[in-house]
Amino acid sequence: MARPERPPETELGARLKEARKRLGMDIKTLAAGLEISATALGNYEQGSRLPDAKTLALYRSKYGVDLDWLLLEEGAPPSPAGVRQSLDAGILRRLGEMVGRAHAGAGVKLPKGAEFEAVAGLYNEFLQLCSNPAETPADVVDAMLGVIEARFKARLSSARAEPGTGKRLA
């Protein structure tokens, strides 16, 4: 008969355990991939010990676990069964159009290459609202993009109004 599971003592322990379950692995399999013992992983998940930097780096590099989520509960948890999400080209295109519209509407000319940075930031913001776009209904995605666009326009307007920003009408 297996021992009953105790709840983790720390939030980090709980997220480590959640990450393993979302990756669809048992303790032995994940521990081998992280190059640690199953006992060490069990201690990390229980919260009685903290993982070292090498172990955390392996969570990120081998399994795509967002360390901001793991350590701070910010960002997106790992995808189920360890499937890394690919970039959604349709959403990226829509975000690119959004950046262009917002800047044109504000009369702000983007420096060369700045559009990519703006789109990347908005995509990350989108992923915080929608951790799995492929499984989210289209009307919900549309609503989320609307929220992101409103936030972006507000930030752009606020930045444009600040003195000394160097922004001028296009």
DSSP output for the chain: -PPPPPPPSSHHHHHHHHHHHHTT--HHHHHHHHTS-HHHHHHHHHTSS---HHHHHHHHHHH---HHHHHHS-S-PPPGGGPPPPP-HHHHHHHHHHHHHHHHHHTBPPPTTHHHHHHHHHHHHHHHH-S-GGGS-HHHHHHHHHHHHHHHHHHHHHHHHSTT----B-
Q: Within this chain, do residues 75 and 126 fall inside the same structural domain, yes or no?
A: no
Residue 169 belongs to a domain: no
Instruction: State the residue range of the domain holding 103.
Output: 89-161
Is residue 146 over pLDDT 60?
A: yes
Is residue 81 over pLDDT 60?
A: no
Summarize pLDDT for 58-77 with one digit per residue, the tens. Answer: 888 888 888 888 888 887 77
d(CA 75, CA 30): 22
Q: Within this chain, do residues 57 and 76 fall inside the same structural domain, yes or no?
A: yes
Query: How much is the average pLDDT of 4-23?
Result: 86
Task: Give the CATH number of the domain where residue 40 resides.
Answer: 1.10.260.40
Residue 6 belongs to a domain: no
- Looking at 56, 82, 108, the residue that finishes a domain is 82
Is residue 162 over pLDDT 80?
A: no
Residue 20 belongs to a domain: yes
Q: Within this chain, do residues 61 and 103 fall inside the same structural domain, yes or no?
A: no
Residue 62 is predicted with a pLDDT of 84
Q: Within this chain, do residues 110 and 58 fall inside the same structural domain, yes or no?
A: no
Q: Within this chain, do residues 45 and 76 fall inside the same structural domain, yes or no?
A: yes
Burial class (CB in 10 A: 0-12, 13-18, 19+), 162: exposed
Residue 5 belongs to a domain: no
Q: Within this chain, do residues 22 and 77 fall inside the same structural domain, yes or no?
A: yes
Residue 130 belongs to a domain: yes
- Looking at 82, 105, 128, the residue that finishes a domain is 82
- Total structural domains in the chain? 2
Residue 167 belongs to a domain: no
pTM, whole model, 2 decimals? 0.49
